[in-house]
Amino acid sequence: MIRSSFTLALLSLALAACSPSDPQQRVSVALTDGVLLPAYGSWAETDRQLAASAQAFCSGQQGLGDARQAFLAAQSAWAGLQPMLIGPLAEGNRAWQVQFWPDKKNLVARQVGALLERKPQLSPADLDKSSVVVQGLTAYEYLLFDAAIDLDDAQQRARYCPLLTAVGQHQQNLAADMLAQWQAADGMAAQLREFPNDRFADAGEAVAELLRTQVSALDGLKKKLGTPLGRQTKGQPQPYQAEAWRSNASLASLAATLAGAERLWRGVENDGLQQLLAGKHQALGQRIDDAYADTRQRIAAQQRPLGELLADDAGRAELNALYDSLDSLHRLHEAELAKALGIQLGFNAHDGD
C-alpha cells in the first residue's frame, strides 16, 4: 500500500512537471489535443468516407440517398472546422478548394458544364488542375441535389460520375494532407504546444491567432445568414446565396460552425479560451456562455429549411432575431473578450465583403 501511494505520488509529480506553467500555453495545448486535432481527424475521416461513397454510388453499390448522407456528413464536418482554420488550411487557397461560397453568379453550375464539355472522361488529375469552383463540396452538392440533374438516370450518371468521384478523391487527399501537416513532428500541433517556434514567438501569439480565427468564423456566420436574409440588399431575400441551399443544409451548417466556435471557447473540460478570463471577468464569461446558449437554441428551434423561412414574414422575423443573436455573440468576442485577454485582433478575413 505504501509503495503504491509512493508510485502515485511520483506519477502526480511527473504529470505536474509536464504540465505547462504558462496559462496561455496550457490553453493552447488543451485546445490542440482536445479540440483541434480531433476536429481535423474527424474531417479527414468524413472525406475518406465521401470518396468511398462516390465510388460506391457510381459503381451501383450505393443508392442516391446514402450518397447524399455522406455529403451532408462531410459538409457538417467542414462547417464545424471553420472556426479552426489556423495554419496550413488557411493558406495557399486551400479553403476555397473545400467550398466555393458565395456563388453569386451560379459559377458552380456553369463551370461544371464547361469542364465536362472539355473533359467528358474527367480524371482526378484533370480536376486537380481545374478551378477551385469545381473542386469542392459546393460542386459535389450541385451534382447530388440540383433539380436539373437526375443521377438515377443511367445516362446522366455516366456524364457526372467522373466528376463526382474526382471531387471525392480531391477532398480525401486534401484533408489527409492537412491532417498530416498537423501531426508532423514539427507540424501545426507541435507549434501550438511548444514555444518559441517558426510560427509563434510565444503562447500569447498562438492564443491570439486562435481567437482571431474564431472571431472571423463568427463574423462569417453573420454573413452566411445575412446574405440570403438580404441584410446587404435592403431586406430583399437572396435564398440562392445561402450556403448549401441545394441540400437544405444551410441551418445545419450554421449550427455546426457555431458548435466549433463554442468548443474553442469551452475546451473539453472547461480548459478553452474561457480559462484565461481572470476572476474580475467572470461576468463576461457568463454573458458569453448565455450568448452561445441563446444562438444555439434559436437555430435548433427552426423546424423549416432556410429557404422556406425566407419565403414568409414570420420566418424572416425568426431569422432576423437569429442574426441579432449571432451579432451579439460575435461582438462579445471581437470587442470584450479580446480586450479582456489583451489581444489586438487586427484584420478580419471578412472585412470588405
Give exposure, 122-139, as e/b (b: 16+ Cβ within 10 Å).
beeeebeebbbbbbbbbb
d(CA 21, CA 258): 30
Contact call for residues 46 and 73 (beta carbons, < 8 A)? yes
Q: Which residue has the cell 475521416?
A: 45
Do 291 and 325 meet the contact criterion of CB atoms below 8 Å apart? Answer: yes
345 Cβ neighbours under 8 A, 6+ residues apart: 208, 211, 212, 215, 334, 338
The per-residue pLDDT for 21 is: 85
DSSP line for 224-286: HHHHHHTTTTTT---GGGSTTTTTT-HHHHHHHHHHHHHHHHH-SSS-SGGGG--GGGHHHHH
Residue 293 is placed in which grid cell?
446558449
| Cα–Cα distance for residue pair 297/108, rounded to 1 Å | 33
Q: Which residue shows C-alpha cell 467528358?
A: 120
What pLDDT does residue 85 have?
Answer: 97
The CATH-assigned architecture of domain 22-341 is Up-down Bundle (1.20)
Grid cell of 120 as nine digits:
467528358
Domain assignments of the chain as residue spans, ordered by start? 22-341
Distance CA 247, CA 272 (A): 33
Residue 10, burial from CB neighbour count under 10 angstroms (0-12, 13-18, 19+): exposed
* Type of residue numbered 21: S
Supply 274's cell numbers: 474561457
Helix/strand/coil for 52 = helix
pLDDT in 10s for each residue of the chain, 353 residues: 444 444 444 444 444 445 678 999 999 999 999 999 999 999 999 999 999 999 999 999 999 999 999 999 999 999 999 999 999 999 999 999 999 999 989 999 999 999 999 999 999 999 999 999 999 999 999 999 999 999 999 999 999 999 999 999 999 999 999 999 999 999 999 999 999 999 999 999 999 999 999 999 999 999 999 999 999 888 899 999 999 999 999 999 999 999 999 999 999 999 999 999 978 899 999 999 999 999 999 999 999 999 999 999 999 999 999 999 999 999 999 999 999 999 999 755 444 44
Q: What pTM did the predictor assign? A: 0.92
